Structure 1
Amino acid sequence: MRARRKWGNRAMRHFIRQRSFGLVAAVAMLVLAGTGAWPASAKARVLIVTSGDLPQYRAPIAAFERRTKRPATLVQLKGTPDVARRRLERAAAEAPVEAVFALGGRAVYLAREVLPSTPLVFAMVLQHQGLDLHGPVTGVEVQLPVESLFARFKMLLPTLHRIGVLYGPTLGPEAIERIRRAAAAVQVELVAARVRHPDEVAGAYRRIRTRIDALWMVPDPVAITRDNFAYLSHRTRNDGIAFLAFSENFVRAGALMSIAPTYETMGEQAAVLLERLLESPGHPPPIQPPLGTRLVVNTEVARALGLDRTATLLGSADELIASEGP
């Protein structure tokens, strides 16, 4: 019995030493990450951090890596916030991090939490203003400037005179006024209807449908749900109204067309911004609008609206597709 107890005590001490060593090692890695006290052989790299594993991230990442040529490590933030944070902390502890390329709002938020002073370039983030970003940060807007967007709408649809928009609380008065000015600049009247809940969308559309030639879909989680999109794509087609989306996925599901940034160009822009940011972290370059655009047109919807004979619209499309259903 005494020998067994002695062996058990030795095993327990060994177990504690092993756990203690592991804990000390983990803490040491985090300290190294925070102080930059890495071995001379450790090479600095860029962390490419994504908000999950969305297919849309692949093109900008590939373009970014081709353009920057810097060593990079991909970190996909999946799971709960705590799990995602630990994944990012482990990646940051493996080697020095000279910069972060973050895609999606979750990636940006956690990157600033874990690496608050590391230069960061973001892309594909809706409403980045709400993240309250400070320090060495810049990025590429996910949305095109509304002024250039409305100019394209008018060029592609010359008979456009009144455009409707359904929006929720995320769009404030200043944003609506900017949209109104952009529409007026190309002789188009804006007919805006505010909704507070997804259930109000159908009624809001019915109130404005006789006053508009087109309905512009803004990326608003209140106004655009799966059910509301299905309703609007069906009703606008029957009412002879052009449904203008912000993503080609919605065009495949039944909208007339989308004018959206090209993901490859966004990745290239991010790489250029990264180099400028690393040259002068104290003076980050301004956030840029996306440069490249891609026009996708649904030929079935165009035919239903009598727009298939409009050479300007179909001839300008980067891709012509048919509906796949909502």
Structure 2
Amino acid sequence: MPQCRRKFVWFLFLILIPLVMAINESPKRILLINSNASVEKYRIVQEEFKKVLYTPVLEVNLGNEKWTPSQVEALIKDKDPDIIYCIGSKAYFLTTEHSRDRQIVFSSIMNWLRLPISRKTYGVSNELHSGMQIMLFRHVFPQINKIGVLHSKKHNRQWLEKVRSDALDFGVEIVSEAVDSSEDVIPALEKWFPKDKPPRINAFWLISDPVVISDKDHIQEIFQLCEAYKMPVFSYHNLFVKYGAILIVAVDDPTIGRQAASIVIDLISEGKIEQKIQFPVGTHITLNQKKVEDYKLYYNQDALNSINTIIE
């Protein structure tokens, strides 16, 4: 065989073998487990995740049914996924125990620091970077330097430790009080409003904590007490505007779904993931300017350019 012909055959061999291998290679199987798809934010995240992902997804909705660990174990064994995407804590806790060292991506879980994390766990935090939020609080309200936070140790102890540290960098003191049950919330909040003395805080930060915001009645009581002392309330969701929250920094749920999809795509392509647990990149900031004027609060007018929605 002439030398040039041998080179050509060898060239075809080098080109065709990888192509054949790529064609025969089975696509990655993605299993999406949603804690409850009827919850709007979970549904939005799931929809956006599927829009971005270019490969088929096996979807399971745990809903309101009581799934046992053995049922989830059988589900994972039957579907045999390469990557599992968990939306919400119910899906994650039921899955991690039976993941069998598969890659897991999570999102929409409060305080991920409390989760069992393995070397193959990736995710998108449900909380924004605490330093960024405090920097924004100070940017809009530069005179506020003592922020009260009620929290339960079970759900937010680790988060609070990080917040305290971040707050010091911006000259802010976090005044915190731990509560064990919903009945402790109002008495704990009242400690910051001693009779015949100035309040011990100059803003209250209502965080996502199921003990603190157990039901609508408790939320109403919190805002009524703060209203009585003209205490500004910062929070994390636009639904608190109707109660009287002054500044809201909310996570953009569609962006979380797209971020989770991006992580899965990197895992499929075996790309390098710089940060295994990522902060949400999308936010929506709302300022209740009407309430600001009612309370006669000083605010930085130049900061209005960074606000998405202003309520007048």
The answer to whether structure 1 residue 148 and structure 2 residue 137 are counterparts is no
Counterpart of 1:104 in structure 2 is 88
- Contact in 1 for aligned 2:29/2:81 (Cα 8 Å): yes
The answer to whether structure 1 residue 66 and structure 2 residue 51 are counterparts is yes
Kindly state the Cα deviation for residue 282 of structure 1 after the two structures are TM-superposed. 11
2-side partners of 1:311 and 1:225: how far apart? 35
> SS where residue 273 of structure 1 aligns?
helix
Moved more, 125-134 or 137-146: 125-134
Counterpart of 1:201 in structure 2 is 185
Kindly state the Cα deviation for residue 152 of structure 1 after the two structures are TM-superposed. 0.8
**Any idea what the Cα deviations from partners look like across 1:224-247, whole Å, max 9, x if unmatched?**
222321111122123121111122
Give the alignment partner of residue 61 of structure 2, picking from 76, 81, 84: 76
The answer to whether structure 1 residue 264 and structure 2 residue 248 are counterparts is no
Give the alignment partner of residue 255 of structure 1, picking from 227, 245, 269: 245
Counterpart of 1:130 in structure 2 is 114
Counterpart of 2:277 in structure 1 is 287
Q: Percent identity?
A: 23
Give the alignment partner of residue 212 of structure 1, picking from 201, 223, 226: 201
2-side partners of 1:205 and 1:279: how far apart? 50
Counterpart of 1:15 in structure 2 is none
> SS where residue 151 of structure 1 aligns?
helix
Kindly state the Cα deviation for residue 111 of structure 1 after the two structures are TM-superposed. 2.5
The correspondence of residues 108-123 of structure 1 with structure 2, limited to 5 A, is: 108-123=92-107
The answer to whether structure 1 residue 228 and structure 2 residue 218 are counterparts is yes
Counterpart of 1:36 in structure 2 is none
- Distance of aligned partners of 1:178 and 1:86 in 2 relative to their CA distance in 1, 3 Å threshold: closer
Moved more, 253-262 or 149-158: 253-262
The letter for the 1-side match of 2:122 is T
The correspondence of residues 13-28 of structure 1 with structure 2, limited to 5 A, is: none
The answer to whether structure 1 residue 319 and structure 2 residue 309 are counterparts is yes
Q: Which runs of 5 or more structure 1 residues have no equivalent in the other structure?
A: 1-39
1-side partners of 2:101 and 2:272: how far apart? 11
- Contact in 1 for aligned 2:139/2:300 (Cα 8 Å): no
The letter for the 2-side match of 1:221 is P
Moved more, 100-109 or 251-260: 251-260
The letter for the 2-side match of 1:192 is S
Counterpart of 1:188 in structure 2 is 172
Q: Which runs of 5 or more structure 2 residues have no equivalent in the other structure?
A: 1-23, 194-198
Kindly state the Cα deviation for residue 320 of structure 1 after the two structures are TM-superposed. 3.9
Counterpart of 1:277 in structure 2 is 267
**Any idea what the Cα deviations from partners look like across 1:109-132, whole Å, max 9, x if unmatched?**
223344433322111111334331
Counterpart of 2:196 in structure 1 is none
1-side partners of 2:242 and 2:191: how far apart? 27
2-side partners of 1:90 and 1:159: how far apart? 54
- Aligned CA-pair RMSD: 3.2
The correspondence of residues 11-50 of structure 1 with structure 2, limited to 5 A, is: 44-50=28-34
> SS where residue 153 of structure 2 aligns?
coil
> SS where residue 236 of structure 1 aligns?
helix
**How many matched pairs?**
282
Normalising by structure 2, we get a TM-score of 0.77
- Contact in 2 for aligned 1:44/1:96 (Cα 8 Å): no
> SS where residue 97 of structure 1 aligns?
coil
Moved more, 192-201 or 126-135: 126-135
Higher helix proportion, which one? 1
- Contact in 1 for aligned 2:111/2:156 (Cα 8 Å): no
2-side partners of 1:204 and 1:167: how far apart? 10
